[in-house]
Amino acid sequence: MNTGPNVAVLIGSLRKESLSRKLAMALIAMEGLHLSLEIVEIGQLPHYNQDDDANPPSSVRDFKERIAAADGVLFVTPEYNRSVPGALKNAIDVGSRPYGKSVWDRKPGAVISVSPGALGAFGANHHLRQSMVFLNVPMMQQPEAYIGGAATLFDAKGALVNESTRAFLHKFLQAFAQWIERNAPR
């Protein structure tokens, strides 16, 4: 079992057979990490509505509590129309309000973008960075993770079939563990 900073993993896709979810699950199954990864679901969140700021539903309160309790946040996301999928952008908006009470503030972050295509969801990766930088999240710059060709990465049980991808992702997570330690709010 991995121990270390506790990381909320947000998956940008809601579908059952999501490649992004498979990748997140493969990360969670990795051994020898100085991180503890746990998925925080976003599909139950209502569309953000500023009228609800004063009296948010329990799904929003629970989500915000879990993000607030995490030492870092890792986004594993596909790209929709060259940007961040709406469900994930909604979760970011939900966590950012009411004004002055954002749960993202100063929480170290990282993003792995995932696509069956060749470009590795570059557009989603960088649109996500734009929002998170505004929200005062120190986003890990290096290594970057644009995972293309994702439909061929997994076996029938969801394990990564490609050793070089596995090794890269392991290195990415170890770098993120160091990033969290260096950027933890003091």
Ligand X SMILES: Cc1cc2nc3c(=O)[nH]c(=O)nc-3n(C[C@H](O)[C@H](O)[C@H](O)COP(=O)(O)O)c2cc1C
Q: Which residues bind ligand X (CB under 6 A)?
A: 13, 15, 18-20, 78-82, 114-117, 119, 121
Q: Which is nearer to ligand X, 36 or 83 (CB)?
A: 83
Q: Which is nearer to ligand X, 75 or 179 (CB)?
A: 75
Q: Which is nearer to ligand X, 78 or 108 (CB)?
A: 78
Give the integer Cα–Cα distance in Å for 2 and 41.
21
CB of 159 to ligand X, least distance (A): 17
Name the closest residue to ligand X (Cβ): 78
Give the integer Cα–Cα distance in Å for 19 and 26.
10
Sign of the Cα torsion 120, 141, 96, 27 reads positive
Sign of the Cα torsion 13, 15, 19, 25 reads positive
Cβ contact 40:68 at 8 Å: no
Give the integer Cα–Cα distance in Å for 107 and 39.
16
CB of 43 to ligand X, least distance (A): 12
State the residue for tokens 């960075």: 129
CB of 121 to ligand X, least distance (A): 5
Q: Which is nearer to ligand X, 147 or 177 (CB)?
A: 147
CB of 50 to ligand X, least distance (A): 26
